[in-house]
Structure 1
Amino acid sequence: MTALAHTSSYYAASANPVTLQPSLSESIQADVCIIGAGYTGLSTAIHLLESGLSVVVLEAARIGFGASGRNGGQIVNSFSRDIDSFERSLGKDKARIFGQMAFEGGRIIRRLVKDYQINCSLKDGGVFAALNTKQMHHLEQQKALWERHGHVGWLELLDKDAITKVVATDVYQGGLLDKSGGHFHPLNLALGEAQAVLKLGGQIYEDSAVLDIKQGDPAVVNTASGQVTAKFVVVAGNAYLSNLLPELQAKSMPCGTQVITTEPLDSDVAKRLLPQDYCVEDCNYLLDYFRLSADNRLIYGGGVVYGARDPANIEAIIRPKMLKTFPELAKVKIDYAWTGNFLLTLSRLPQMGRIGTNIYYSQGCSGHGITYTHLAGKILSEVINQHASRFDAFAQLPHYPFPGGHVLRVPFSAIGAWYYSLRDKLGV
């Protein structure tokens, strides 16, 4: 793989045509330098540019190269840990601000798609599917929780009969439909957001890996062939940040998830499998998720590889999961299989903060990043524009290093995941 090549995914194969951006080869200045051209970086850039600041985005590989161009493409509200986790740890009063933000990311995505005419096959409707009575009870509580925080009129509980009219399988006991959920082509969303950055006057440099950040006022961000001097820096590399800022490594761990995509299905088969064309994710700790593409392929993902190693045979991991849900696809060919990394935190809550006086970061979406990253971009633009209340709410969340340190965090996390997966299977 060259420095500029996307992974061999369905998304890369079906991406909208775009012009590659140049590599940085000079010394330039900007109000804000953003490291990473994924959703966090692009959302931050758009919101900053809309506020009148000058922005440079540096991307080590290609726009949307990481999780933003490889994910399941599902709009799922709230955070990896739901609002009740904030209530338990912070109290209901302090948690209220997180409840107010829990449904904003999806609205930001739809606003950007509309305002900048982004062609990303956006469709409405997402379903949480329960595999047992315990999970169905959890969805009943989730509906009440979300409605208590203002998400009213969007949710519908589905019993066993109702969910079979949404997903043609007998494995689910029920579900929860979120009409404000949805799905889209994730790489095309990132590419469209990058075009919005350029239209607003921002600069994006691809194949421009950052080698170091010299703190100061202003800060200086160096690449192999150039540098950016900026009043503020936003670090948005997430699981692909590597060792750029060691202080961000100890409290997070890259993890891989796998996705497969079938050959195009006959339209009648696609309509039978997912009659409403909603996206679906189950309620397991290590969850599965799936949806139809714009050309009637089934995109099915799941599984976690702690430490972000690439499995030798992705299809062998995910295809059995797909067939358990849809046995009739036994003879269907898999055209694409790939892996992508997300960044896990011990609390499974995102990390947002500041290093020194003018270096900001957001990371650790813990597998729930599509809506959060877009929200994070708006919040980071707010704090740079001296509106810090929402940034401060995230920055004050406590975060802890993984047990066992850098060496043992992978096996310890895998043991924990095995325990929760066993509970899912037993329905306890």
Structure 2
Amino acid sequence: MNLRETAMVQHSWYEASVQREPDDPPMQGSIEADVCVIGAGYSGLSAALELRQRGFSVVVLEAERVGWGASGRNGGQVLVGFAKDEPVVRQLGAADARRAWDISVDGVHLLHQRVAQYDIPCDLVKGYLHVATSTRKADDLDDWAASLQKDFGYHAIRAIPRAEVPGWISSPRYVGAAHDALSGHVHPLKYCLGLARAARAAGVQIHAHSRVKRIERGANPVVHTDQGQVRCRFVVAAGNAWLGDLLPKVTARIMPVRSFIVATEPLPESLVAHLIRHRCAVCDTNFMIDYFRFSADNRMLFGGRISNGKADPQALIPQMQHRLGEVFEPLARARIEYAWGGFVDVSMNRAPDFGRVDENFYYLQGFSGHGVALTGIAGQMVADAIAGQASRFDLFSRLKHFPYPGGAAMHGTWLRLGVWYHQLREMV
């Protein structure tokens, strides 16, 4: 782990609030397995768990330790759907877009099922609020909620009448809202560690501190680390923003974008109940989003402020506290006790990017901020595909993706242009 990434994770409330088991041992020597999975986050662990249930032997290689990347640092929002619905509908057509949407809903149900089946204590709460900061955006939000009901048959969401919005969220910033009764939030690291325990119990071999250096492709791939190798029949690349140069043509289609979260001191229960009804997770509909929720111990977890530069979470605390105070004036002076960040793997069209580089080499990436639930069902789909039932996986692999022009050197430029463009649109 380099110094910049140490700064991104070392002041995480998620890490401070869990008791980790000792790290899995590094990969050493030569191992044979049916499947080698790269990455011990949600998608990799989900694929490994599902593959074991289908009778495959599985080895998971993790460069750091379980849940070190986005799976252990994200906002914890458990969401149906995708970061952007339009490219899914446009490319797949109405009927197959409805199938894809239903699969995303299945992803939320799968998370709920796993929490119960494997007894994962991850502070699961149902209820999600989409909120709008202007009348125009509130109208758009109402239309979107109506279209989900009409076009996708998703009736867990409803637009909240404008006069009732203050009863759901006590902030003058928001003039419109929609409530999703199925989506919600979890403690993301607790959930990831629970998946890892379930995978180990099922017979999955997990090796931490085992960064993959190269992959020999072919009928029988060989995956190499510094200290060993895995000989296998199938490979699943589930490293998202951390695959580096292993699959350059694939990873060129995502931009790693940094997002930041702060956690306040524990707050009075009466204030928590007053600010957000039913402890829902909340996200606004702006391009530069604010997303937030209360933790089980009554901390406000407040996220936003995207970057792909060298920003230090500690240096951003004043900005984040100012934004928090703009949303909830009573929290303007709440003490910030933790600040951390991580990468979101954003595809150009913000649709998920699942596919194959060979018939026996699969990848999962491009969750674009909707990964807590979608990663789980993606892992199940890739396991089905390896087992010979590829219809759901192939549905998503039809989505076309293109590399960001100019490669990684231009990521900062594209991000700034995107921010400026959407800020101008939001001023209109």
**1:200 equivalent in alignment to 2:189:** no
Kept in 2, the 8 Å contact 1:306–1:414? The answer is no
User: 1:310: how far off?
Assistant: 4.4
Deviation at 1:373, TM superposition (A): 0.9
Match of 1:314 among 313, 316, 334: 316
Matched, 1:384 2:386: yes
Q: Which amino acid aligns with 2:405?
A: P
Aligned to 1:357: 359
Measured in 2, the distance between the counterparts of 1:396 and 1:47 equals 23
Q: Distance in 2 between matches of 1:67 and 1:268?
A: 32
Partner of 1:38: 41
Match of 1:241 in 2: 243
User: Percent of pairs identical after alignment?
Assistant: 38
Shift of 1:105: 1.5
Does residue 48 of structure 1 match 2:54? no
1:190-245: CA deviation from partner (whole Å, max 9, x where unpaired):
00000000111111111111111111221111111111111101000001122222
Structure 2 distance, partners of 1:2, 1:202, is 28
Moved more, 154-163 or 8-17: 154-163
SS of the residue 1:195 aligns to: helix
Equivalent residue pairs, number: 425
Q: In structure 1, how many angstroms separate the alpha carbons of the residues matched to 2:406 and 2:52?
A: 42
Q: 1:45 to 1:247 in 2, by over 3 A?
A: same
Asked if 1 retains the 8 angstrom alpha-carbon contact of 2:314 and 2:340, the reply is: no
- 1:10 paired residue among 5, 9, 13: 13
- Give how far 1:140 is off: 1.9
Decide whether the 8 Å contact of 1:162 with 1:174 is kept in 2: no
Provide the C-alpha distance between the structure 1 equivalents of 2:49 and 2:310, rounded to a whole number of angstroms.
Answer: 30
State the AA in 2 paired with 1:292: F
What does residue range 207-356 of structure 1 map to in structure 2 within 5 Å? 207-306=209-308, 310=312, 313-356=315-358
Deviates more, 1:225-234 or 1:415-424: 415-424
Distance in 2 (CA, whole Å) between partners of 1:7 and 1:101 is: 35
Query: Which residue pairs with 1:91 in the alignment?
Result: 93
* 1:415 matched to 2:402: no
Structure 1 CA distance for aligned equivalents of residues 154 and 103 of structure 2: 14
Using the alignment, how far apart are the partners of 1:307 and 1:362 within structure 2? 24
* Offset, 1:307: 5.3
Alpha-carbon contact 1:256-1:308 (below 8 Å) kept = no
Root-mean-square deviation over aligned CA pairs? 1.9
1:393 and 2:361 matched: no
The 3 A distance-change label for structure 1 pair 59 and 308 is farther
What stretches of structure 2 of length at least 5 have no aligned partner? none
Amino acid across the alignment from 1:29:
E
Opposite residue 39 of structure 1, the aligned amino acid is Y
- Describe the shift of the 1:289–1:269 C-alpha distance in structure 2 as closer, same or farther (beyond 3 A): same
Task: Determine which structure has the larger helix proportion and give its number.
Answer: 2
Match of 2:193 in 1: 191
Of residues 124, 127, 133 in structure 1, which corresponds to 2:126? 124
Q: 5 Å matches for 1:103-122? A: 103-122=105-124
Confirm or deny that 1:69 pairs with 2:72.
yes
Report the alpha carbon displacement of residue 346 of structure 1 after superposing the two structures with TM. Answer: 1.1
Aligned to 1:20: 23
- Partner-residue secondary structure (3-state), 2:33: strand
1:143 paired residue among 131, 145, 149: 145
Give the gaps of 5 or more residues in structure 1.
none
1:63-119 Cα offsets, whole Å, 9 max, x none, are: 00000000001111101112x432233322342321322312111111110110001
Counterparts in 2 of 1:32 and 1:416: CA distance versus 1, 3 Å: same
Establish whether residue 134 from structure 1 lines up as the match of residue 130 from structure 2: no
Q: Is the 8 A contact 1:281 1:288 kept in 2?
A: yes
Deviation at 1:167, TM superposition (A): 1.4
Distance of 1:16 and 1:130 partners within structure 2: 38
Structure 1-normalised TM-score?
A: 0.95
CA separation of 1:310/1:365 partners in 2, compared to 1, >3 Å: closer, same or farther? farther
